[in-house]
Amino acid sequence: AVEGDVAAFYRANASAGSENLGGMLPQLKIVEANTPECQEGLATAGNFFYSPTKESFKEVEVSVMAISRGFRAKANDPKDPNKIKFNQIMAGMMINEMKPFIMFFSGTRLTRLWDFGKEIKPFTSHKIAPFPMFSLRVKMGIEKVKTDYGYNHVATFSLVKDDAGKIQ
C-alpha cells in the first residue's frame, strides 16, 4: 500500500494520460461557416476551435510533437457516401495555454502542412546539430484560399524567430 505524499500524488494524477479514453479528443480544428461550432455561435469562421474548452483563437503558438503517416478514410460527404479521402494527423501542445491537441488535415489543408515539413527539414535533419521538431516554436494562423468548391480556411505555419532572426 502507498501512503502519505506518494498516495496524494497518485490521487492527484490518477487520470493523467487517460483523459481521452471516454471519447473526447483534445481536437483543435478550423471553423468554417457550415461547421456546428460556427452555427451554434461558439466560434467565427476562420478561427481555430479547441473542443475540450470550447475556446476560439485567431492564431496559436504551438510545439508540434508528431505528424502521422498519411491514411485513407471515408469522407463525410453526403453527396458521395463512398468517397475516400487522404488524411494526416498532427499532434502538439499549445504553448501559451499548455494544452495538448490533435488536428486532422485533408484536402487543400494538406499542402501547407507539407510545406511546413519541407521548411523544418533542414533543422530536423541537420548532420551536425539536428533539432527535434517538438523543440521548434511555431505560430499557426489561418488563411482563406479559393478552391474549386468556393473558399476554404487553411492553417499556416511560421517558425517563431527572435529580434535577431534566429528561430526559437
* pLDDT reported for residue 76: 78
Helix (H, G, I), strand (E, B) or coil at 53: coil
* pLDDT reported for residue 19: 60
Confidence class for position 75, pLDDT limits 50, 70, 90:
confident
Taking the C-alpha atoms of residue 105 and residue 24, their distance in angstroms, rounded to an integer, is 18
CA-to-CA separations, 61 to 55, 64, 130, 145, in angstroms, rounded: 15, 10, 22, 22
Q: pLDDT digit string (tens) for 97-140?
A: 899 999 999 989 999 999 999 999 998 998 998 889 999 999 99
Q: pLDDT digit string (tens) for 1-21?
A: 678 887 787 777 676 656 655
pLDDT at 42 over 90: no
Taking the C-alpha atoms of residue 146 and residue 77, their distance in angstroms, rounded to an integer, is 19
Global pTM? Answer: 0.79
Q: Do 48 and 139 touch, CB atoms closer than 8 A? A: no
Confidence class for position 94, pLDDT limits 50, 70, 90:
very high
Per the prediction, the chain carries an average pLDDT of 88
